[in-house]
A and B are shown apart, each in its own frame.
Chain A
Amino acid sequence: MTQSIMVVTTTVFFMLIQCVDAYCQQSDSSKIAPQLEPISDSVTARYQFEFTVVGTIGVTRYEDNPTRFSSTNRFRGFAGLLRAMWHPDHLLSIGVTSGYILLSEETFASGTAGLLESESEVQLTAFPILLSFAMQPGNLQIGAGVGAYMLTSATRIAGEEKFTSSDFELGVHAWAGYDFDVFSGFSVGPEVSLHVLSNRGIGAFHAGVRVQYDLLY
């Protein structure tokens, strides 16, 4: 089921990308034909190196309850991402995305389900390393990233030292953001994003704020 949703979501997303690309190709023709006005200043202004810092909160959904003691498969989390994008002479930009994502955190009281003898804590975080692509029609940016997520699980059962264990998983990331220009080179706006690690049955939907800086503005 998760696989199907993932495939459909990804397909729809890339169809959307293609539509935007087609739209932007039209916009590009405005640069070739100087008699036409560009659709917005930002279209021609964003062919630069660009850094984006994104802070979001969101919900993580696991395919099943993550432990036999868990009462739900949905958890609150947050993320801080850094995105570095290069815009060649085209509206398609390419870059990398990384950062920190808290996927879930749970504490089980002693005696949970009559099985745990002491309080236990578990936490799952992700450190994404993604190759990212984005398109920018006007002040809107939509993008996607594909790559590895270094998942880190931290567990502690009372009396034991907290320790971590890590592993890499493949995943995809999609986002859409809007930029309000604040002053030269700086813009701020909202961003919504989705992280999917289908192999592990993990999906995380986030919303938050992005701050963007055009390095060579």
Chain B
Amino acid sequence: MCAVALIVSACVADLEPVSLPVVDYTSELRGMLSFDSTARRLLSGVYKRNEGTTRFGDRIAVAYDGQVVTMYTVRGVAFFTLRGGIANDSVKLVGVWRGVQGSETGIARLSIRPSEGGREIAEGKGNGLGLILRGEITTSSGSRESYVIEKVDATNLRQLDFEIIAHRGGGRNSERLGVSENSIPMVLLAGRLGATAVEVDIQRTRDGEPIIFHDPTFTARTVPSPYVIGDVDNYTLRQLKAVARLVNGETIPTLDEMLDVIIDSTELRLVWLDVKAPSVMDAILTSHARAVERARQRGRDVDILIGIPDDATFSAVRNSRLFGSLEIDPKTGTLPILCELGVDRVRDVNARVWAPRFTAGLQSTLVAEMKKEKRRCFVWTVDDQNFISDFVSNGEFDGILTNYPTLLAAMFYTSPKGR
């Protein structure tokens, strides 16, 4: 009896949040000029480790998200978010790093001397090949490790036509990123994690409002509010806004709120709407049309795709009175639909993307057929390093959905295909 009680009482372990170290960017970068887009482009590329710590492996991908320079490593599955500045032909980068599959974190302080590429960046010339970032990183234990890396490939990684699609808006609660899965702060973080695209899940409220939430029921894992229990569609939107908080304190966003933030405040270029509530398809398509118009008005090139994961959703899309209002892409002649079903269904709804499950394998013949029809092919959900390696090296997919966009970004960008 004692054992049973102990098991019951201890069966849910608290996930302690991982606190990132605090960096005073104002004082660290005082008197320095901010990076412009040319400086960020010159920094972007693939680097090799020359000296210092081996905790991040020998190959590092450097990209940028908005004003922030980002780095991704395969070893340690770490991402860096660095802010930088230029002064006297030298470049300084300071920020934090975090290993997403554990709780390791620390501060990174790197610089580029004038003779090692700093002058090139200050003058906005060249392609950045050979520039050397050197400095040190701190670790969770407080130790300091030197770190020197050299740029060996000048590809602008963000321009590659491959989608790194982050699951649940960027990552799951279990990764303890400090923001909740499928929340507004999570999609704002997604680009820094390495994502170029996000998948978000759509459930419905009792009053028929599409909201961003993964599960059909509320559990303590996703919504700890004790007043919020049972089925999601038991609650009206007003009730959820009043009493529901996600694990990191955020409110549950509506589909409109989520799409507005992605369009206005991120550089993500694709959104996969994973429809788990086909009964509100008309409302979803209405939000989709509104978001497409908003993106057009703001000059944002973002592809918002209606996901079809099952037969019920397929029928709901086909039978929606708004199906005919979906805009055909003039370049490909396809509709903004992502279909996870067979290729016949993909053709039936003229979907822009075919997205089979990863367990079906590389499916090279079908992928080639789809591409010949100007459709893109994504595969989901691939988290294991060996499978990612296989799909990146041997597959012909145009994107991969993963819970670890940092790992995928590092593996893809440092692979021959990424260059």
Shortest Cβ distance from residue B5 to the other chain A in the assembled complex, whole angstroms:
5
Contact B1 A160 (CB under 8 A): no
With A10-B5, A144-B1, A170-B11 as given contacts, are A66 and B242 in contact (CB-CB < 8 Å)?
no
User: Interface residues of A: mostly helix, strand, loop or mixed?
Assistant: strand
Contact B9 A167 (CB under 8 A): no
Contact A163 B234 (CB under 8 A): yes
Does B243 interact with chain A (Cβ within 8 Å)? yes
Contact A157 B242 (CB under 8 A): yes
Contact B243 A146 (CB under 8 A): no
Please name all residues of chain B whose beta carbon is closer than 8 Å to the beta carbon of A180 when the two chains form the complex: none
Q: Mark B224-250, 1 if CB is under 8 A from A, else 0.
A: 111111110011101100110100010
Please name all residues of chain A whose beta carbon is closer than 8 Å to the beta carbon of B6 when the two chains form the complex: 7, 10-11
Contact A7 B10 (CB under 8 A): yes
With A14-B1, A172-B5 as given contacts, are A67 and B242 in contact (CB-CB < 8 Å)?
yes
Does B218 interact with chain A (Cβ within 8 Å)? yes
Complex-state Cα separation, A39 to B1, whole angstroms: 27
Closest to B245 in A: A68
Closest to A170 in B: B8
Closest to A154 in B: B227
Closest to B229 in A: A167
Contact A64 B9 (CB under 8 A): no
Contact A172 B8 (CB under 8 A): yes
Complex-state Cα separation, A151 to B228, whole angstroms: 10
Does A122 interact with chain B (Cβ within 8 Å)? yes
Does A198 interact with chain B (Cβ within 8 Å)? yes
Please name all residues of chain B whose beta carbon is closer than 8 Å to the beta carbon of A116 when the two chains form the complex: 242
With A68-B245, A122-B243, A151-B229 as given contacts, are A167 and B217 in contact (CB-CB < 8 Å)?
yes
Does B22 interact with chain A (Cβ within 8 Å)? no
Contact A124 B4 (CB under 8 A): no
With A103-B226, A153-B227, A165-B231 as given contacts, are A3 and B245 in contact (CB-CB < 8 Å)?
no
Does B2 interact with chain A (Cβ within 8 Å)? yes
With A120-B242, A199-B12 as given contacts, are A64 and B224 in contact (CB-CB < 8 Å)?
yes
Contact B12 A198 (CB under 8 A): yes
Does B13 interact with chain A (Cβ within 8 Å)? yes
Please name all residues of chain B whose beta carbon is closer than 8 Å to the beta carbon of A10 when the two chains form the complex: 2, 5-6, 9
Interface size class of A (residues with CB under 8 A): 35 or more
Does B366 interact with chain A (Cβ within 8 Å)? no
Complex-state Cα separation, A11 to B242, whole angstroms: 38
Shortest Cβ distance from residue B224 to the other chain A in the assembled complex, whole angstroms:
7
Does B220 interact with chain A (Cβ within 8 Å)? yes
Shortest Cβ distance from residue A197 to the other chain B in the assembled complex, whole angstroms:
9
Contact B230 A153 (CB under 8 A): yes
Shortest Cβ distance from residue B20 to the other chain A in the assembled complex, whole angstroms:
21
Please name all residues of chain B whose beta carbon is closer than 8 Å to the beta carbon of A103 when the two chains form the complex: 226
Does A84 interact with chain B (Cβ within 8 Å)? no
With A67-B243, A160-B239 as given contacts, are A200 and B226 in contact (CB-CB < 8 Å)?
yes
Closest to B251 in A: A68
Contact B9 A7 (CB under 8 A): yes
Please name all residues of chain B whose beta carbon is closer than 8 Å to the beta carbon of A120 when the two chains form the complex: 242-243
Residues B1-40 near A (CB distance < 8 A): 1-2, 4-6, 8-14
Complex-state Cα separation, A77 to B4, whole angstroms: 28
With A10-B9, A170-B8 as given contacts, are A3 and B227 in contact (CB-CB < 8 Å)?
no
Does A69 interact with chain B (Cβ within 8 Å)? yes
Partner of B224 from the list A7, A63, A69 (CB cut-off 8 Å) is A63
Contact A2 B14 (CB under 8 A): yes
Complex-state Cα separation, A163 to B231, whole angstroms: 13
Complex-state Cα separation, A126 to B245, whole angstroms: 21
Shortest Cβ distance from residue B340 to the other chain A in the assembled complex, whole angstroms:
29
Please name all residues of chain B whose beta carbon is closer than 8 Å to the beta carbon of A200 when the two chains form the complex: 220, 224, 226
Contact B2 A11 (CB under 8 A): yes
Does A96 interact with chain B (Cβ within 8 Å)? no
Contact B230 A67 (CB under 8 A): no
| 25 A–B pairs (Cβ distance < 8 Å), ordered by A | A2-B14, A3-B14, A6-B10, A11-B6, A64-B224, A68-B245, A68-B249, A120-B242, A122-B242, A124-B227, A146-B1, A146-B4, A151-B229, A153-B228, A155-B243, A165-B228, A166-B230, A167-B218, A169-B229, A172-B9, A198-B11, A198-B12, A199-B220, A201-B224, A202-B226
Q: Which 5 A-B pairs have the closest CB atoms?
A: A165-B230, A165-B234, A167-B229, A14-B2, A6-B9
6 additional contacts, CB 8 Å, given A123-B227, A155-B235? Answer: A64-B224, A122-B242, A122-B243, A146-B5, A151-B229, A199-B11
